[in-house]
Chain A
Amino acid sequence: DADVTQTPRNRITKTGKRIMLECSQTKGHDRMYWYRQDPGLGLRLIYYSFDVKDINKGEISDGYSVSRQAQAKFSLSLESAIPNQTALYFCATSDGGARAEAFFGQGTRLTVV
């Protein structure tokens, strides 16, 4: 099983709908992240959380909200989806240790029509 699991893997939704993307991890890491990827723009940080009680906005948080339900779970919500939120979304984790590397899920491809 993957260490960082995202659900759903693909989703098509209509403009104005609320949608939640879920991320769970078995790595025991405190730090979790949500990124979106658009062609030519690389990955941009939406929100990040360093523990259950710590939530921080990233570069592009407008139109998004998050919930850290437990150390292992970090969900991203689009309250009212719009077409320019069509993108590939990634969840990532980090243990904050000396290795400092991030571990990524396989991504959720979201299309807003």
Chain B
Amino acid sequence: SQQGEEDPQALSIQEGENATMNCSYKTSINNLQWYRQNSGRGLVHLILIRSNEREKHSGRLRVTLDTSKKSSSLLITASRAADTASYFCATDAGTYKYIFGTGTRLKVLA
């Protein structure tokens, strides 16, 4: 399987804390994307990082990419209860064929 893996599988934190989740993948990529899924609904795109980038920010999100280790991390700072969701990484080798990871379930406690 080409599918990547994320860890932890589940994460529970207090509101205001930072949440970090990691993604490992298996093949060379053109870009890596992070998506969010609220309770069985459709996925929503959060941020994209290209293979020649090491770090990217968008609001409270910070993504890093280490292509030598085939890994990425997503940091959500100052988390809110509304951030409770599942988060998935997806890799794209430049062919627009998106391969998703197994996901991290984040619960932010108010």
Contacts and interface: CB of A to CB of B under 8 A. Distances in A.
Interface of A: 4, 31, 33, 35, 40-45, 48, 50, 56, 58-59, 88, 90, 92, 94, 96, 99-107, 109
Interface residues of B, number: 27
Given A90-B43, A107-B40, A100 B31 contact: yes
Contacts of B33: 100-102
B68 interface: no
Interface of B: 1-3, 6, 9, 30-31, 33, 35, 40-45, 48, 88, 90, 92, 96-103
A25 to B, nearest CB: 12
Contacts of A4: 42
Q: What secondary structure prevails in chain A residues at the interface with B? A: strand
